[in-house]
Amino acid sequence: MQTWYDLSKLFRKETVVPETGSFLALVVPAVSFTVSLSMFAVVPTITIDAPTEGGIVVFIHLAVLSAFLLAIAGSVSGNPYGIVGGSREVILATLIEPSIIVSLANLAILGRSLFFGDITKNMEGRYLSVWLAAAMIAYFLCLIAESGRVPFDIPEAESELTGGPLTEFSGKLLAFIRFGQLVRALALFSMARFFIGALIPLRVTPGEFSLASVLLYALSVLLCTVVISLAESLSTRFRLLEAAKFAGYVLVISSATLIVSLFATSAGWIR
């Protein structure tokens, strides 16, 4: 609960606007939170159908945009540390976002659709397969990189590392950015329900609220939390070069899985 206590405290604190920053310093935090929250408009949570039929394409656009907004936030503050921190975020996003895109493209191929409702119905009760397992591993590796924690960032060194883009933000502005990061992470966690749903024979009726769909969503978020917690507990922080190598390995795994899935689909091995 400490995260929510901190957010509540930030919303009550005074907001200090940097003199060196432009008017965008007031706009970017709200835009960042709005974009992150918009991700839930196209991804289903406790039901099969999403509120809006945007599908994977819109979800990818929003996920990538929200990642780069953090870098923009550092640039508009006018602080050199913010600019350097923003540059670091751009590098990390450039390394990781391609793997996210390829992993979600693989999900679309395995689910034979770009829309989440159809993907759920097509993958429901498929059980474990080589392609599904590889796609799931690649996506969970992407989540570790997207979590903003060890081994990619050190929350205890905010002023030097992950806090770089946020150096000049305080009060409600900082609260909106941090809240947006949490919402974005939860939206990415929500995608895991499609892999879990293919492994568990739960029958969920489209468009209806059911206990099975709630349990499936809760289990997916819990599994993502466990994976990231284990990665944080068992790893030390990566240097930027090590992060690049890790991102390269993940991209190779996700790309290889995508190629194999395309071939298996065309050959009729995946039905």
pLDDT digits (tens, 9 = 90+) for 187-212: 999 888 888 877 776 655 555 557 77
Please report the pLDDT score of residue 162 as a whole number: 47
The 3-class SS string of 46-82 reads CCCCCCCCCHHHHHHHHHHHHHHHHHHHHHHCCCHHH
- Amino acid sitting at position 149: R
**pLDDT tens digits for range 227-254:** 888 887 887 777 767 778 888 888 888 8
H helix count then E strand count, the chain: 10, 0
Tokens matching residue 26: 């007031």
> What is the model's pTM?
0.84
d(CA 63, CA 106): 16
Confidence bin at 262 (pLDDT 50/70/90)? confident
Among 182, 185, 39, 184, CA closest to 116: 39
Residue listed under structure tokens 């350097």: 84
Q: In whole angstroms, give the CA distance from residue 48 to residue 123.
A: 12
Handedness of CA 83, 85, 86, 87 (dihedral sign): positive
Q: Does residue 19 register a pLDDT over 90?
A: no
Domain locations along the chain? 2-266
What pLDDT score does 36 carry? 92
